[in-house]
Amino acid sequence: MSLAPQSVAYRESGIPWLGKIPKHWSIVRGVFLFFNKKVLNSELQCQERLALTMSGVIERDIEKNDGLNPADFRTYQIFQQDDLVFKLIDLDNLKTSRVGYVHKIGIMSSAYIRLIPRQGVFSKYFYYQYFDLYLKHIFNFLGTGVRSTLGCDELLDIKIMFPPLQEQKAIADFLDKKTQQIEDFITKKQKLITLLEEKKQTLINQCVTQGLDSSTSLKDSGVEWLGKIPTHWEVRKLKYLIKENLSYGANETAELTERTYPRYIRITDFDQNGMLKDETFKSLPPEIAENFLLSEGDILFARSGATVGKTFQFKDYQGLACYAGYLIKASLNFRIASSDFVFYYTKSYSYLQWRDIILNKATIENIGADKYNELKIPLPPLEEQKAIAEYLDTQIAKIDLAISKIKSQINLIKEYKSTLISEAVCGRVGID
């Protein structure tokens, strides 16, 4: 990113979030550059449905029943190409889209704000300028009311920069090119993460169903989703690998955040890799938690909802913890089964196939203790279980490190993108 030519003179904009801008640019309120006009799709004259998303304005099938759909698309408003669209309600929610550029005629929610460019306005440039305000949380700062909302009049009252038309076009073209390059880079990196995640799961599945020695002779496991396993392995049901009956957690609401109390672990507290999230910490009073405390090596199974089958291993936790009612605890008999090995098995394709078979036979998304008891697990001798788990620990750590580095690269390029947009819309980047 090069600096703007030294021949450009700058001045203070007088607006805290803008800083210096080219001296020949104007500062005006949005109402002088845009106006609002709501045209409803009252006669269903437009059948092109659009949606404002985190990826911008996208096309959406009007016949497809996904997301929040109205009873009648007559209540939607019609947007024209080059309009800007804003969703400025519930601004405290930082994980939703706020501003978009409309690339074609289409209909969107009547709750959205439509801004129509006046003559001499290249709206794509102003999309980037308003998007910069979104990135800087200016809409949140200006929003009012219980739901933190910004109305159309308030939006049009915000002071914005007004460069000459030729510069508007040049900056917009520059940002179109640069942001597309950045998005292409991110897409490639995300695909690489997907490939690494698949490699990880393939490795796990290979190790927990066929072991570490590829020359070992195999036999039919007798279980459809397992296939062949080493001849010296057994297939054992989970109920024969535990030292006490599977048990359900506490049916208590998660209200406390007292760090000296036992942590209250719920389904939403751990991710698909079984890692605890510190930001969701909740706790229970010791007198309530005492009947649901976890021990080192316990494995929790999610029993219902969209995350049914998800697992968590209680390991190396500093302090006490208990678990919630939508989870089932398995306390393994360590003389027979390694907690690490069994937990790795719950991350395998074979386990996921078992889960899907169980759910396909059920009328609701629920796997209770009775079904988890019958879960069939390929089981090598105990020392081999430990060796497999140790090998996977080493290999998975390498893959996770590679994934972490790629995610850092993505975060850095996203930060660069935000900075680039902010500097470019203020005329502080050379675009020749």
Q: Would you state the CATH architecture of domain 26-162?
A: Alpha-Beta Complex (3.90)
Q: How confident is the model at residue 146 (pLDDT cuts 50, 70, 90)?
A: low
The tally of CA atoms less than 13 A away on the side-chain side of residue 144 is 5
123: tokens are 């709206």
What single-letter amino acid sits at 61? Answer: D
Mean pLDDT check: name the lowest of 24-28, 56-60, 331-335, 383-387: 56-60
Question: What digits encode the pLDDT tens for the residues 147-199?
Answer: 688 999 999 999 999 999 999 999 999 999 999 999 999 999 999 999 999 99
H or E element in which residue 265 lies: strand 263-265
Query: What is residue 148's predicted lDDT score, i.e. its pLDDT?
Result: 81
> Is 135:422 a contact under the CB 8 Å cutoff?
yes
Taking the C-alpha atoms of residue 71 and residue 389, their distance in angstroms, rounded to an integer, is: 53
In CATH terms, 212-379 corresponds, of 3.90.220.20, 3.30.200.20, 3.40.50.620, 2.40.30.60, to 3.90.220.20
Phi, psi (deg, nearest 5) at residue 107: -110, 145
Q: Are 300 and 312 in contact (CB under 8 A)?
A: yes
pLDDT score recorded for residue 32: 97
pLDDT one-digit tens code per residue, 279-323: 999 999 999 999 999 999 999 999 988 889 999 999 999 999 999
> What does the block give as tokens for 77?
């408003």
Tokens 């019958």 belong to residue: 374
Q: Is 255 exposed, middle or buried (0-12, 13-18, 19+ CB in 10 A)?
A: exposed
Please give the average per-residue pLDDT across 91-101, as a whole number: 86
pLDDT in tens, 25-60: 999 999 999 999 999 999 999 999 999 998 899 998
Please give the mean pLDDT across all residues of the chain: 92
Percent of the chain with pLDDT over 90: 81
**Residue limits of CATH 3.90.220.20 in the chain:** 26-162, 212-379
For residue 2, pLDDT over 60 is answered with no
Whether the Cβ atoms of residue 85 and residue 102 lie closer than 8 Å to each other: yes
Q: What is the mean pLDDT of residues 105-115?
A: 95
Distant-in-sequence, close-in-space partners of 195: CB < 8 Å, separation ≥ 6: none
Token couple for 194: 């997907």
In the predicted model, what is the mean pLDDT of residues 255-274?
Answer: 90
